Structure 1
Amino acid sequence: MIQIITKLLGQSINILGLIAPRKSAYLALRLFSTPQKGRLSESQHKFMSSAKQKSLKVNDLVAMTYHWPGSKDTVLLLHGWESNAARWKLFIKLLRSHDYDIVAIDGPAHGQSSGKRFNALLYADFIKTVTETFRPKIIIGHSVGGMAAVFCLHENNHLKVDKLVLLGSPAHFVGVLERYVDLMGYSNRVHRTIASEIEKKYGHGPEYFSAAEFAQDLNCNTLIIHDKDDAIIPYSDALLYSSNFKNSKLISTEDMGHSLNNKTVHASIIEFMLS
């Protein structure tokens, strides 16, 4: 049923694109950037209340941060699409057992952060402000959280981190957009108009926003973990990252899916952090 509704919505935007191309692109981008879930549940609120919570002003938005102080290096945790900082609950408990200084954030329009729209560039702005405030030595990002971290570090070379971990992260925006277009069944006309509107708004077309290419400019040691059967972000994106980072290690998993939120992955991350 959801697939049928999705395709019907896509076809409606295709029809609109025949008479009002820019309006169709506006609606398509609005759908693309509006999360349908990701706010904190009651049970998640309870866990997050164990942290020191601090809101930070980011342009006209507010980023919510969660801080568990520790004596070791500061670690910044970045969730993905339609998620929030509570997705790290199990990993946070493990990090606390090692006495790391932990910071997690809610992305734009997620968790307790403000906003109604989300994209990797808005997220990168959040990461910039949080990184300037807490000065993490290690950044760990799941899915688009990892991509946004690369965007941020590329655009702000005054921000230095020692280690970066990417979990199932997309390597380029072109692929993300194409998968969305395929999901909705948009026409080539609508696809082209979306790309044109992105260029008008951000000064660059979708092809510019390649985290894999940006990675060539980063000097941090990087761990890339990606499942070969990831149904959300293709494994080929991990290979792109691996071939572009100067100092990286790729761990390929099987039958773990996109989430990569389990003890095996957590152990691999801790081993990398301690190395």
Structure 2
Amino acid sequence: MEKAVGTLVNLISLISVNKAVYWVHKLFSTPRKGKLSPKHLPNFLRQAKISTFIYQDELVYTYQWNAQATEKPLILLIHGWESNSARWEEWQTYVGTAFRLVAFDAPSLGQSKGKNLSVKNYQEVIDIAIEHFQPQGIIAHSLGAFTAFQQLSAKSYPTVQKVVLLGTFDRFEHILAEYFILLGYKHRLCLAYLHYIETLLKHPLARYSSTQATQNIHIPVLCIHDRLDEKVSYQEATAFHQALQAKNNRVVSTANLGHSLQDAVVFETILTFLS
């Protein structure tokens, strides 16, 4: 299926590279799953304090637990690609009332509106969420971890004292390269799309990496990554892990927990770090 779509976009590029780039970006930034219907909202989210904020004239849904315990630290939870705030149910169950927790559905995911999710607009939404909620800690997963780390390197947030990264990658270039191979895009089209992304981000893709971001982050970081992660290569993130450790941050390698890292050992490690 992917190769067939890629072939069609390659054909479009013979007529108009700009139109082909439009479709490359649309396909790359449009989640195929992760939406939630208000009629079938999980009980975990129904029980939360639900509110919204606006991003690009669209509603972003937020969820808070233990919100009344204002004396406790507030932890912002940031989910990954094709996911939503429901992914934090096991973590919330494990920690109970130890913290105040707040999560949000990224644009086009969960209950949030919008038609796509790019790294650029995810960073912008994360910025709004941090400024609005003023959390003391952040726990982020996968793409959410990568974009949150990029945003933390680009802007200072005085309230944020610690950050936890789960199953994140190092280089955005690597993710794009895998996407190009999956769809079978022609080299000329790949180069055109890379140029488009650099224009969007306003800096070279080589700088858009977790390793580079580490240089500008001066708060304690806990990074947890499974050696057999089937979605985000542990090997690809090795340089990032080394950069973190060089600044006396902690990197925990797990085994057989997969990409989701939903496990009591992981939760206890996070709890100890945040406490």
TM-score by structure 1 length? 0.92
The 1:44–1:92 alpha-carbon spacing in structure 2 relative to 1, beyond 3 Å, is: farther
CA deviation map 1:217-252 (0-9, x unaligned): 101111111111112111134322222232411111
Unaligned runs of 5+ in 2: none
Match of 1:14 in 2: 10
Q: Paired residue for 1:91?
A: 91
Q: Which of 17, 20, 24 is matched with 1:28 structurally?
A: 24
Distance in 1 between the 2:178 and 2:3 partners?
Answer: 13
CA displacement at 1:259 relative to structure 2 = 1.1
Distance 1:208 1:117 in 2: 24
SS at match of 2:115: coil
Distance in 2 of aligned mates of 1:255 and 1:44: 30
Deviation, structure 1 residue 17:
2.0
2:271 is matched with 270
1:241 is aligned to 240
- The structural deviation recorded for 1:102 is 0.5
Q: CA shift at 1:127, angstroms?
A: 1.3
Query: For 2:50, which of 49, 53, 57 is the aligned residue?
Result: 53
Deviation at 1:197, TM superposition (A): 1.6
| Residue identity matched to 1:266 | F
Query: What letter matches 1:10 in structure 2?
Result: G
Deviation at 1:159, TM superposition (A): 4.5
TM superposition shift of 1:43: 5.2
Q: Supply the distance in 2 between the matched residues of 1:132 and 1:201 (Cα, whole angstroms).
A: 23
Alpha-carbon separation, structure 2, partners of 1:202 and 1:97 = 39
Partner of 2:194: 195
Aligned AA (1:156): K
* Structure 1 unaligned spans of 5+: none
Alignment of 1:34-183 (within 5 A): 34-40=30-36, 44-68=41-65, 69=67, 70=69, 71-98=71-98, 100-183=99-182
CA contact (8 A) 2:120 2:201 kept: no
Take 2:266 and 2:259, find their aligned partners in 1: how far apart are those partners?
12
Tell me the C-alpha RMSD between the 2 structures.
1.7
Map of 1:259 onto structure 2: 260
- In 2, Cα distance between the equivalents of 1:88 and 1:188? 39
The separation in 2 between residues aligned to 1:123 and 1:159, in whole angstroms, is: 21
Provide the secondary structure at the position in 2 that maps to 1:56.
strand
Number of aligned residue pairs: 269
* 2-structure distance, mates of 1:128, 1:96: 27
Distance 2:153 2:56 in 1: 19
Mapped contact 1:10–1:186 kept (Cα < 8 A): yes
Identity %: 34
* SS of 1:57 mapped into structure 2: strand
